[in-house]
Amino acid sequence: MENKNERRREEILRISGVNPRKCMKCGKCSATCPSYDEMEYHPHEFVYMVESGELAPLLESKSIYKCLTCFACVERCPRGVEPAKLIEAVRLTVIREKGANHLKADDIPAKLDEEIPQQLLMSAFRKYSK
């Protein structure tokens, strides 16, 4: 168990390229996050929980699907930590597991309307499925 957690943490750090130790815990990323109210764990919490290896709560949390990839935290973090990259990496390690796609093609017809741009479907699949 210990080992698996550590391997996962290393993978998250590797594919995100983020160094959570640069964080000075100012909270600016979370303060600027438009999805703050929708998240159980906020961008600055992703940073310190990945750093401390507390992955299990993040992997099970809906928060990984609430990030909008709006780059606000990337732009505004004064230390260049770029928390969105970590959130993305955590989400990828979840959805890359067999059968773990968060959005399935069968879910789509019920969500369609006349005006939905293809861009919306493409982006959602890119973020929620593998």
Q: How far is CA 102 from CA 44, 56, 58, 94, 124, in A?
A: 24, 17, 15, 9, 10
Per-residue string for binding with another protein, 53-82, x by CB under 8 A? Answer: ------------xx-xxxxx-xx-------
Q: How far is CA 99 from CA 27, 48, 55, 104, 114, in A?
A: 35, 29, 20, 10, 30
44 binds, among ligand SF4, another protein, none (CB under 5 to 8 A by kind): ligand SF4
For the chain, state the CA radius of gyration. 15
- For residue 29, which of 71, 61, 90, 57 has the smallest C-alpha distance? 71
2-61: contacts with ligand SF4 (CB under 6 A): 23-29, 32-35, 43-44, 47
Distance CA 116, CA 64 (A): 24
Only one of the segments 55-63, 71-79, 108-116, 117-125 lies at the binding site for ligand SF4 (rule: CB under 6 A); that segment is 71-79
- Residues in contact with another protein by CB under 8 A are 14-17, 34-35, 37-38, 65-66, 68-72, 74-75, 84-85, 88-89, 92, 103, 111, 113, 115-124, 126-128
For ligand SF4, the binding residues (CB under 6 A) are 23-29, 32-35, 43-44, 47, 67-73, 77-79, 81, 83-84, 87
